[in-house]
Amino acid sequence: MDHDEARTRILDAAEKLFYERGIQSVGMDELRTAAGVSLKRLYQCFPAKHDLVEAYLRRRDTRWRAALAEYVDAHADDPAARPLAVFDWLGDWFAEDGFRGCAFINAYGELGATSDRVGCVAREHKEALLGYVAGLVRAVPVAEPEALARQLVLLIDGAIAGAALMGEPSAARQARTAAAALMEAAGSAAGPGVAHSET
């Protein structure tokens, strides 16, 4: 097994265990066993647990945002429908087996007070999500697109928390309804002749 294969297997095991059970409850020896690598190889790939945690979060960020963008691209041609498609994707994600909420908020809740690196990765993830949503919103003629994007991201985070903590299966749909209302209001504020989002 070469270095890259070992690293991938360790990250796969870390993503499953950290997301399911939390970071602090999973030890390096358990990770080594789950990944099928020696403890020596584990520490060659990740000299300390915080290195593995950061790598896990950065890879999850890349994959999560790519899956979201792929869904939106495949399911919404109309620019006004694209921000709302984000909430449709959330609904599918919430229904998946093993859904445990936002990995970044979870990690920050566990380690943010003691790990600047975890806090940094979590903030970068949320900033990247905001940047993506802002890009979708700027393609629609609405008033104050940056403010609207921030409101939509708050709805996204609220829906994720509601689905994870309360087991609320309709959280994505409820957030979508609120998002459509916000977009409608922002479109009206932009002036006559603006194409409004579909609800």
Over residues 87-114, the mean pLDDT reads 96
The reported pLDDT for the residue numbered 190 is 61
Mean pLDDT rounded to a whole number for the chain: 93
Residue 113 has pLDDT above 50, yes or no: yes
> Residue 16: pLDDT band by 50, 70, 90 thresholds?
very high
E-only strand ranges, the chain: none
17-70 per-position pLDDT tens digit: 999 999 999 999 999 999 999 999 999 999 999 999 999 999 999 999 999 999
- What are the structure tokens assigned to 192, written together? 């006559």
Half-sphere exposure of 100 (CA within 13 A, CB side): 15
CA-based nearest residue to 196, from 144, 172, 183, 43: 183
pTM of the model: 0.91
Rounded Cα–Cα distance for residues 149 and 132 (Å)? 9
The reported pLDDT for the residue numbered 194 is 44
